[in-house]
Amino acid sequence: MQTCRIPRFPSVDWRQGRTTFTAGAPPISDRILAAIVFAIQAQRFLLADIVGRGWCVPGGGLEHGETLEACVRRETLEEAGARLGSLVYLGVFTVARRPLPPLCVPAYRSPVLALGPVGMPGESRGVRLVRPNELSTAYYRWDALLEAVFAYAEQHHTSGYPPAGA
């Protein structure tokens, strides 16, 4: 009998607090801060040079009444000018902010269907596609957690992992 192994991810300290990632775990709906996407085209990850953040994956805050899928698609179009294919839910980043309640940031992966002009030029200074082995020098704030989640996103992109509901 084959068993499904759930990967473990390291915890790191980010500016907002101690951060972890849990594969497949649903976010706590009243604690969602934003949503992000690991968008892939031609075996390269899409990064945008976001004002105030640097080179990172597209994503941002959930607007009132917006679904997570709509948020990821809107933010990717605004920050990177990219249109996404089907979204696959990867898991959730949880940011512990003591004494405040933790925040949740759901993460998806998706193929890039088309690249066009950045939808909100004031938000992004540029877009690039980066090979996995270039991420550590390209990403604005590289750490062990991001390395593990990018590897997980890449594995699920190439393995044909079935889409989950967004």
Residue 162 pLDDT greater than 60, yes or no: no
Please give the pLDDT value at position 6. Answer: 65
Within the chain, what is the greatest distance between any pair of CA atoms?
A: 53
Question: Where do runs of H (alpha helix) occur along the chain?
Answer: 68-80, 135-138, 144-158
Tell me whether the omega of the peptide bond preceding residue 99 falls within 30 degrees of 0, making it cis: yes
Please give the pLDDT value at position 164. Answer: 38
What is d(CA 87, CA 126) in angstroms, rounded to the nearest whole number? 23
- Average the pLDDT over 120-128 and give the result: 86
**pTM score:** 0.88
- Mean pLDDT (the chain, rounded): 88
Residue 133 pLDDT greater than 50, yes or no: yes
DSSP β-ladder status, 34-41 and 100-115:
parallel
Burial of 23 (0-12, 13-18, 19+ CB in 10 A): middle
What is d(CA 73, CA 31) in angstroms, rounded to the nearest whole number? 20
